[in-house]
Amino acid sequence: MIGAPTHISDRIKVSFEFFPPKTRENEGALWHTIERLSALQPDFVSVTYGAGGSTQDRTLATLRRLAQRTDLAVAGHLTCVGKTRAEVDEVARDYAAAGIARIVALRGDPPVQDGRYQPHPDGYRDAADLVAGLMRIEDFDISVAAYPEGHPESASLEADLDNLKRKLDAGARRAITQFFFEPETYLRFMDRARAAGITAPIVPGILPVTNFKTVQEFARRCGASIPGWLARTFEGLDEDPATRELIAATVAVDLCLKLRAQGVTDFHIYTLNRAELTLAICHMLGLRSGAARRRHRCQGEETASQTA
Ligand code: FAD
């Protein structure tokens, strides 16, 4: 059940994830999105790094532009799969030179035809090793990935938590989760993480589902489960993107409000480079643009002075 927020919350912290655009048209759309979402004063925004560095140049170009043209805190994703340490370090140094002090450090996945992940003979072994290497370059603010339902390659949920702990012990400051659709999935994971002695923030990753078929395929690969109710919700809507949009917002808002009711205050939103869904989610969490916040504060102050 969706309930409207009763007050404007200054406690909610959001971060937004974008992917580097491929075409000029997509680039225009992304900058329009960034302009609209900046007004919500996110804690930081991040830009993904395509499998094995396939978007390296576009990621760096997007990061540079964000650093030059906005006052947002910016994080660059960086993977180590298929690269030597020296190659990965060079990208990290490029980030630093562009003024990017935050990194989302990831192992990455090999191309499907290459089968199971094998570290490059001269490369970082895994994400924990990558974090340690990055910390030797600079005191980056590093985030890492966490998997509430376990990474598909992990031997067990406990082994996966041990791996998360290694990444945090190596210097990462927070984890961001893979997407999930049931609040209990995240809440149970948090209980297990805290019981395992992990104290760092673990921010839930929120994915608004606009294309159910794509998400189904993605979930199959990353080990996230799709609840039956979600599949039923999108039944018969393959040719109806407008209705899918409305439902995507409703489902994501519902998840966030349930998490909020359990005391969760930080959210990382996979924006899909689009503003509306993220704006809807943030609005329902009680976030307002900078201008609206100021207006709200002034009104609050006026009311206070009238009643004094
Ligand atoms: P790791 O933490 O290294 O772990 C991967 C698996 O291997 C886990 O099961 C772990 O338990 C196991 N493992 C690790 N080390 C060892 C060891 N020494 N011995 C035994 N088992 C071990 N991918 C991209 O290509 N680009 C992106 O921009 C990107 N952004 C992402 C952002 C977020 C928030 C998330 C959640 C994922 C992102 N990914 C991205 C996907 C990520 O690259 C994949 O999920 C990848 O399969 C694992 O990366 P990792 O950093 O979690 O790996």
How many of the other CB atoms lie within 10 Å of CB of 59?
Answer: 24
Looking at residue 52, the DSSP 8-state letter turns out to be G
Q: Which of 106, 143, 167, 192 to mutate to test the pocket of ligand 1 (most atoms within 8 A of CB)?
A: 106
Query: What's the number of CA atoms in the CB half-sphere (13 Å) around residue 185?
Result: 21
**Residue 20 token pair:** 């580097």
- What pLDDT is attached to residue 296? 55
**How much is the pLDDT for 49?**
97
**Taking the chain (308 residues) in consecutive chunks of 10 residues, what is each chunk's mean pLDDT?**
48 96 95 97 97 89 97 98 97 98 97 88 98 98 98 96 98 98 98 98 97 92 94 94 95 98 98 96 91 57 53
pLDDT of residue 303: 52
ipTM for the predicted complex: 0.97
Q: Which of 56, 117, 134, 163 to mutate to test the pocket of ligand 1 (most atoms within 8 A of CB)?
A: 163
The DSSP bridge partners found for residue 106 are 79
pLDDT of residue 5: 46
Residue entry with tokens 């570290």:
119
d(CA 294, CA 62): 30
Instruction: Answer for the pair 20, 58: CB distance below 8 angstroms, yes or no.
Output: yes
CA 162 to ligand 1 centroid distance, Å: 13
- φ/ψ of residue 298, rounded to 5: -60, -45
The pLDDT of residue 3: 45
For 229, the token pair is 């109710």
Which helix (H) or strand (E) segment is 81 a member of? Answer: none
